[in-house]
Amino acid sequence: MKETTPHIALVTGASRGIGAAIALELAHQGFVVIGTATTDEGAAKISHTLSAYANCRGVNLNVNDAAAVDALVEQITTQHKALHVLVNNAGITKDRMFLKMTPDDWHAVIDTNLNSMFNVTKQVVPDMVERGWGRIIQISSVNGEKGQSGQTNYSAAKAGDIGFVKALAQEGARAGITVNSITPGYIATEMVKAIDPAVVEKSILPHIPVGRLGKPEEIARCVVFHSLSKRSN
């Protein structure tokens, strides 16, 4: 990157899987990355992964806690004078058929996968508008587009992500803010690897044109594409 000062990027859910790959690739590309996790152990793991890159670190953050999010964003903008890129990646699954789905199953997934996106994005947009530049990337899911049996909560949240992105992109464009959604299919993360290999072989791979699971690093490169851009300040 040609700028003398680096972009500052906040990546939620960065301790493993897609989020960890995104944080590492952004750091490799010269971003100062702050990655979030839900535990001190997860935050320490992020810091260790990014230890070769100056000023990059992990922090413990409950993305469902709007006050905690506000405090973190204020800390970042005070220390670094800006927050240029936000990657909303935090998410969970609580899969079960709808007839057996509990209110807790529903609300936990909606809160973490959809409402947290509001909490974090709400805090970073004002600074981006004031600067006239910003990049917001939402990691959604193909199941938010096509649905998936046993995932009414997850599919609803991810569909909401996509609608949020489409609307905010229209609002942000004139302010120099781009808002994009990346909707992965099945990626070789710990969550997917936990699925019975026979199920993967019989029910998942036949529907993937290239005949294999995606790689977290491939999603990370998509995020970098949407994050890299010249800026005026």
Per-residue b/e over 131-163, b at no fewer than 16 CB within 10 Å?
Answer: bebbbbbbbbbebbeeeeeebbbbbbbbbbbbe
User: Is 186 annotated in the active site?
Assistant: no
Q: How far apart are CA 106 and CA 166, in angstroms?
A: 24
Catalytic residue among 31, 133, 154, 186: 154
Helices (H), the chain: 17-28, 40-49, 66-80, 103-110, 116-131, 143-146, 152-172, 190-193, 197-199, 216-227
Closest CA to 93 of 2, 9, 190: 190
Q: How far apart are CA 152 and CA 150, in angstroms?
A: 6
Q: How far apart are CA 99 and CA 34, in angstroms?
A: 40
The three-state DSSP-derived secondary structure of 51-106 is: CCCCCCEEEECCCCCHHHHHHHHHHHHHHHCCCCEEEECCCCCCCCCHHHCCHHHH
Q: Which residue, chain included where needed, has tokens 């960890």?
A: 20
Q: H/E element holding 180? A: strand 177-182
The two structure tokens encoding residue 189: 């993360």
The two structure tokens encoding residue 187: 């990626």
Q: Hey, which residues are catalytic here? A: 154
